[in-house]
Amino acid sequence: MKWLIENLSLCTAGEIIMTEKVYVTSKQMATFICPVCQKSKTVNVSKYASLDKMVKVKVTCPCGYGYTSILEKRKKYRKATNLPGSFVHLVEGRPARGGLMKVKDLSTSGLKIHVNTEHHCAVGDIIQVEFSLDDGHRTLIRKKVIVRNIVGQNIGTEFAPTEPIDKALGFYLFS
C-alpha cells in the first residue's frame, strides 16, 4: 500500500479519528508522520500554496491508518495558550479604551487575543497588551502590538518593531 494524500473536500471522509497539524516549508514541502506507526512522507504541496483558506487533507498511511492533516503555512511556530490579561487601545499614542483579554496563541512574532468587550480596533491600530506566562516565574509580558486581522472578538496581532525580543518568551514557546 502507498501513501495517499487527498484534498478532503475532494474525497469522501471515511473514519477519521484525529487531526494533525503539518507545517509547510518555504520550499512548499510538508512532512506527514503517521501517528500510529511513525512512518513519514515528505510531499510537495505547492498546489495548495495559493489558497488563502485553511487546507485540510485526508492522509492514508501504508499501514492503513487514515487521518486528517491541516496544512499550516505560517512562518513561525504558534503555541496554543489560554492566558488571561488586559489590553489598551492606543489612539495617537494615548490610551483610549481597553479591557480584559485571553491570549489564544503566541509566537515570537505576535499573538492572537480574544477580547471580552467591544474593542473599536481596526487593522493597523496599535494596542498595548499585558499578561503573565504560565511558566515557573509567571513572567510578565507587556508589549505594543499592531493589529493585523480581526474576526469578531478575536484579534490577530504582530509585535511592534520597536519591541525588543523577549528571551523569556522564546524559552516559553519552545518548552
Q: CATH number, domain at 119?
A: 2.40.10.220
In this structure, the answer to whether residues 31 and 114 fall within a common structural domain is no
Residue 169 backbone phi and psi in degrees, to 5: -65, -45
* Structural domains of the chain, count: 2
User: Of the candidates 72, 105, 120, which is a domain's last residue?
Assistant: 72
Q: Is the pLDDT of residue 74 over 70?
A: no
In this structure, the answer to whether residues 19 and 52 fall within a common structural domain is yes
Q: Is the pLDDT of residue 33 over 90?
A: no
Q: pLDDT (tens digit, 9 = 90+) per residue, 82-107?
A: 999 999 999 988 898 899 999 999 98
Residue position matching grid coordinates 487546507? 55
In this structure, the answer to whether residues 38 and 84 fall within a common structural domain is no
In this structure, the answer to whether residues 118 and 152 fall within a common structural domain is yes
Percent of the chain past pLDDT 70, that is, above it, reads 82
Q: What is the pLDDT of residue 118?
A: 83
DSSP one-letter code for 9:
G
Residue 51 banded pLDDT, cuts 50, 70, 90:
low
In this structure, the answer to whether residues 102 and 145 fall within a common structural domain is yes
In this structure, the answer to whether residues 12 and 65 fall within a common structural domain is yes
Give the chain's mean pLDDT.
82
Residue 130: domain span: 79-173
As given in the structure block, the three cell numbers for residue 164 are: 525588543
Residue position matching grid coordinates 477580547? 115
User: Of the candidates 72, 90, 122, which is a domain's last residue?
Assistant: 72
Q: What is the pLDDT of residue 17?
A: 45
